[in-house]
Amino acid sequence: CVLKGGGKEKSDDEEQRLSYLKTLLCKEVASRVGRGLRAVDKMVFALVLAKVATGQNALDETKEGLSTGDITVMIEEAFGVNFPWIGKGLNNLKEVTFQDITSTVPLLLCSAPGHDVSGRVEAMAKSESKELLSVAMGSAEGYRTAENFIATASKRGTWVMLKNCHLCTDWLEDTLVKLLQSLNAGTHQDFRIFITSEISPKLPTALLQISDIIVAESPTGIKASLSRFFSSISGERFSNSVQNRLYLILGWVHSVIQERLRFMPHGWSEKYGFTEADAIHALDVIDSLVDNACGKRQNLDPEKLPWDAIRTTLRKGVFGGRITGDSDQDILDNLVNKTFVPQAFDVDFKLADVDGAPVLPEGSSKDEVFAWIDSLPSQNPPTWIGLDETAEIARDHMMAESVVKKYGIVTNALSDD
């Protein structure tokens, strides 16, 4: 693709032509490989590529207190400001689909748990007037449907999307890889196959080798976490404004718990396995406790809700069941005890005892809940989740240290070879 689309620059000087081709090759490799890596690994790969391209070490490992900003500057000094080391990802989905892959190369979209990217494919198919056949994987019926879809679409030139393929890694290895390897020059040139999956070490190596990959890391922050959580709740559930208020408090607690995982070991002392499923389970727990205490009445009195039972179950069961450290349990207890209180139904109830912390909306209808989430800033200060203002800086330095460490491992391995 570099030679075919070599650009407009022409020169009779062989050295200049080779230098130009080298630049184009580095850009193409970075944009293709980078999109299949996580944030830290993108930096590591760009630094390794810079060393291969220039013969010099782009990373100044002697500099103390490196930040990710410092490393970004080093990459840009080696390649230029507009070098595509981050890779062409979801925001370039159309370009990747029509220009970078072919009918025989699947596009594997890997994302963090709870971050569903299938909607991006569906929206693109609609805007491009492409017929898209999609199937949720994980059952024998899904396997048969997927095989039929691929057989039909590969001849007609339509699109296929296999969703949630982390649920069927054995089928991927035993069946899908062989199906994909059987695609040949006779496959319709307009055929495309998209595979969505959570990031998982169980994905077959053979599938990774034959696929073009985009890693879609989920957006961070309280707002993004709340949006993911509430998008997973069925609309029928928002029938009672009092329980909606409890769901919103739960969403906040869940989001704080998730965000603190990003700041280990300051957020939590261990990488506990908190998941979206915990919060979904908590919804059922809250509904059950409220129904048992108050019956299925529409007009619930917030003062008479089973606050003690809700707090205890969340602290010791739903979320607390994953915690092993006493200090971490104290953090969880404090978070739950301060939010699941009758005062949460008061106007202007603050969700954190810091300046600038959000206050709950006045009303709790479904529309008001979603409007309130939309009104939150995309990025929040660490003080919202109970951490010091310097936590973000400390986390950034830890990421930079991880880049330096991984870069050393890779370059040492290359030197040994």
Confidence tier at 130 by pLDDT (50, 70, 90): very high
The pLDDT mean for the chain works out to: 90
With contact defined as beta carbons under 8 Å apart, do 154 and 188 qualify?
A: yes
Write down the pTM of the prediction.
0.77
| Amino acid identity, position 389 | E
Confidence tier at 11 by pLDDT (50, 70, 90): low
CB atoms within 10 A of CB 360: 22
With contact defined as beta carbons under 8 Å apart, do 168 and 194 qualify?
A: no
With contact defined as beta carbons under 8 Å apart, do 58 and 77 qualify?
A: yes
**CA–CA dist 366, 363 (Å, integer):** 9
Of the ranges 1-15, 113-127, 266-280, which one carries the lowest mean pLDDT score? 1-15
Torsion sign (Cα): 55, 61, 63, 65 = positive
What digits encode the pLDDT tens for the residues 357-383?
A: 999 999 999 999 999 999 999 889 999
**CA–CA dist 134, 132 (Å, integer):** 6
CB neighbour list of residue 296: distance below 8 Å, 6 or more residues apart: none
pLDDT at position 218 is 77
Question: In 241-319, which ranges are E strands?
Answer: none
Per-residue pLDDT for 6 more than 70?
A: no
Q: Token digits for 382?
A: 């660490």
Per-residue pLDDT for 126 more than 90?
A: yes
Per-residue pLDDT for 60 more than 90?
A: no
